Structure 1
Amino acid sequence: MDFGGGEEIRFERMGRAGLVTMARPQALNAITHRMINALSRALDAWEADPAVDLVLLKGEGRAFSAGGDIMAVYEGGKAGKPPVEFFADEYRLNARIPRFPKPYVSLIDGIVMGGGVGLSFHGSHRVLTENAQFAMPEVGIGFFPDVGGSHLLPKLRGSFGMYLALTGERIRYGDALWSGLATHAIKGADQEDIIRRLTDSGDVETVLQSHSVRPDAETSQSVFDAIARHFSKDTLAAVIASLEAEAASDEFASKTLAIIAQRSPTSLNVAFRQIRAGHSMSMDDCMRMEFRILVRMLGGHDFYEGIRAAIVDKDRRPKWRPAELGSVAAADVDPYFAPLGQRELAL
């Protein structure tokens, strides 16, 4: 089936399912504008097709999807043409996925970050194998946890979503299942049988339940307790102060402070406010908020500097502006959340 994705994303009708395969393994299935638009058209068609009982999404190679194609974003921004429409279409798709009326099953076997999270974790069934690695590492490149991060992360147990947003740390399937990110955990070796049974029967609940496993969380209970204690604070300054108070005697607090110190101070402040705000907002309102932030980020410094340091020059030494967390005032953060007038995201 051809929905305009070319060789970047494949669409197949297999029995009762619409099967989507992200097919850029050499780029870790980084999301392109073409892939976004093709998947949107496929969902339109399959929603109306009574022969399709479910959508099944997977990645080719060792990654599910490592995120958006940030080099394209970097090059466009540096040329004075930031790809605002790419993000607008991506965010519209993110907002549409939770409303999709049929089971939307993501089989995640490998890295899933950024844009890959947006295509998978808003669906009804998030199925992770032991090879899965989840992260929202955007604050490390001067960005923010977008693609619906403000709707997804506040729902996680024990302030775990705020911890992931501010550190960008990777987690695996045990922690994902414990926190509520994953709906099911399976063995990677069972994927082909799961796909065969899903496409044959269309019975998502029965098939996934029969293959589900219950891995232990990779993180210890004492660390989960520490995350809940530190990252539930009402302000970013209070989070930092809480970690500092225990850093001399606690390895987790010391390590976490060191990680946060490497992140963009502006991004940390924006992400903290974003995650706090998203707790009480609908998915659509979260996406409108994120689009406001996105437009301001594309017109700023830290996002491009973060990509330069991580991807272009690879020196891993970004020069953030401002460089210190204490130099970011509330008045500096307010404009990121200000209405855009006629430029607001239309959903």
Structure 2
Amino acid sequence: MALNHSSFDPVTFVLTGIPGMEESHVWISVPFCLMYAVALTGNSFLLFLIATDRSLHQPMCLLLALLSVADLMLSTATVPEMLAIFWFGSRKVSFDACIAQMFFTHFSFIAESTILLAMAFDRYVAICDPLRYLAVLTPATIGKVAVAAVLRGLGIMFPTIFLLKRLPYCGHSTMHHTYCEHMGIARLACADITANIWYGFTTTLLSSGLDAVLISLSYAVILRAVFRLPSKEARLKALRTCGSHLCVILMFYLPAFFSFLTHRFIHNIPSCIHILLANLYVIVPPMLNPIVYGVRTRQIWERVTHMFSKVGGTCR
């Protein structure tokens, strides 16, 4: 492998896809391609709907728009590269392109985690303190959430670039994964990567880990308030909504944290299981979010049904 002699950066990395399942790559690609198509269509439609309908410029809908942007970025940063490996055997990626993919993948994840925390707070205020909802969740507040998500992602990920750039790679180039991520790149270095391990561990705990704890606390308080509702029908409706939200949130955090922990502390998990789960959190939540949150958000569901009823009337 040719080397850049001034920095010891390899010219290219080689992504293997899912090791041990190479013969099934084409079949595995089918559900991932379909999920990516649904994610693109659903999130783009949701963004279009919210952008063009002023009646939807409300706190929860604006947060959903932010979530759709993060979903599109997260899935697009990873899935096209994954499909290129599965379909065309396009496994080589330049060092700088790999760093860029790593940056946008983790940046999108951090931004999405921040937005999910804001959405949990939105639901908490809406259910537990509804009289103050419009006073607390103003458009200016949603703007601050967007800025916070961007600045938080940039603040955490920029140091990672320099932590990886400083390492010599000495020709090690094969990465057993479908996309580039921080520890996958760091483990190819022929130097001490303790700083990378502890930086990744600390920032994950203080960002996404803290978000997951706060989201859990928010929904615990929400569920306590729901069980105090006098109407059984109202309780069931609120439980269905909270339950669907929690399922999507779990699908986002659990595979991500599993991938994070196995890279650092657990090394006896089969790599194919690890990589399959790592692929789930970059495509399943982006596919489910517009469906679950769109259907469960009354204003959006009403606009969608109204739009399709008008289309149906026109076709007649």
Which has the higher Rg, Structure 1 or Structure 2? 2
TM-score (norm 2): 0.29
More strand by share: 1
Larger relative CO (CA 8 A, sep 6+): 1 or 2?
Answer: 2
More helix by share: 2
TM-score (norm 1): 0.27
